[in-house]
Structure 1
Amino acid sequence: MLKRAVWQGLVSGLAGAAVMTVAEKVEQRLTGRPDSYVPARVLARLTGLPERNKYQRSLNLAMHYGQGVFVGVLRSVMAQAGLRGPVASGMFTVARLTNDQILENATGVGAPPQTWPRRELAADVLHKTIYGFVTGAVADALAARDGMGPGQRHAALCGGRRFGVGPPRRSRASGGPPTLP
């Protein structure tokens, strides 16, 4: 499961980052908001490079796509485990926003979101939501080719979470139709 989750997550994350980038460019044209070089500054601080250098645009793209691609693996693991659909994509969007904030605040490049101007916060949440749901749709589609995940097989026993229903037997956890223990 994990081998498939890695490659599927890299593909899913790349798709999500690409669509998010297009959405950001469209939004910037409509609102006049300038490019943000926060990702470049975070990567520069993480690697010890000078924050302002001739490679700033390249660092920005590397961090922007790098985070998107690698965090996509988390969404793919979720899909392989059986956490699929819009609720799972919503959970993942929060994880993506959290990842950004940890890196930005830990490096001293960013500030807590509650201190941001509302328009900046709204734009960031919108774009990360687009990323989260596109990444989720791709991860879910790829995972569905492998069949139900363990969580889905468990839910199929009695239609969700119910008292007194344990997990499927180990022999059934790897595939096949679910049976009550």
Structure 2
Amino acid sequence: MNWAMHYGQGALLGVLRSVMAHAGLRGPLASAKFTVVRLTNDQILENATGVGAPPQTWPRTELVVDLLHKAVYAFVTGVVADALAARSGPGPGQLHAAMRTGRYPDVGRVPVRHSHRR
């Protein structure tokens, strides 16, 4: 059951990373954010079902291995999702960011004709 839960949530969360990439959230920073989502989801499921304990109670070596495994999963999933999403061109978030480089609060919206290109 443990393997089924891990593979199942990995597959479902892979879809979320794909959505992130298609929206324009790509690259290492997006994968780092996704690592947090992956860890959070795992902890919620394990603690809600009673098969796990809070990470702060784990032996340090077990915690490091788990964090490393989740990070590798997140970054490899990110590379694949980003590559597949790139075939469709830039996402809406990337189009919006390209409207005006830098950090400005008054950029406005991407024109509708550009935001729904797929």
Q: Same fold (TM over 0.5)?
A: yes
Question: Counterparts of 1:32-181 in structure 2 under 5 Å?
Answer: 40=1, 60-175=2-117
What value does the CA root-mean-square deviation take over the aligned residues? 1.2
Q: Which runs of 4+ in 1 moved over 3 A?
A: none
The percent of aligned pairs where both chains have the same amino acid is: 69
1-structure distance, mates of 2:102, 2:15: 26
Aligned-partner residue type, residue 168 of structure 1: V
2-structure distance, mates of 1:67, 1:150: 27
SS of the aligned residue for 1:111 comes to coil
Quick check: which has more Rg, 1 or 2?
1
Number of residues of Structure 1 aligned to a counterpart in Structure 2: 117
Structure 1's unaligned 5+ residue stretches are: 1-39, 41-59, 176-181
Structure 2's unaligned 5+ residue stretches are: none
2-structure distance, mates of 1:135, 1:161: 29
The alpha-carbon deviation at position 174 of structure 1 amounts to: 2.2
CA 1:133–1:87: 2 relative to 1, 3 Å: same
1-structure distance, mates of 2:3, 2:106: 50
2-structure distance, mates of 1:169, 1:157: 10
Aligned-partner residue type, residue 65 of structure 2: A
CA 1:117–1:138: 2 relative to 1, 3 Å: same
Q: TM-score normalized by structure 1?
A: 0.62
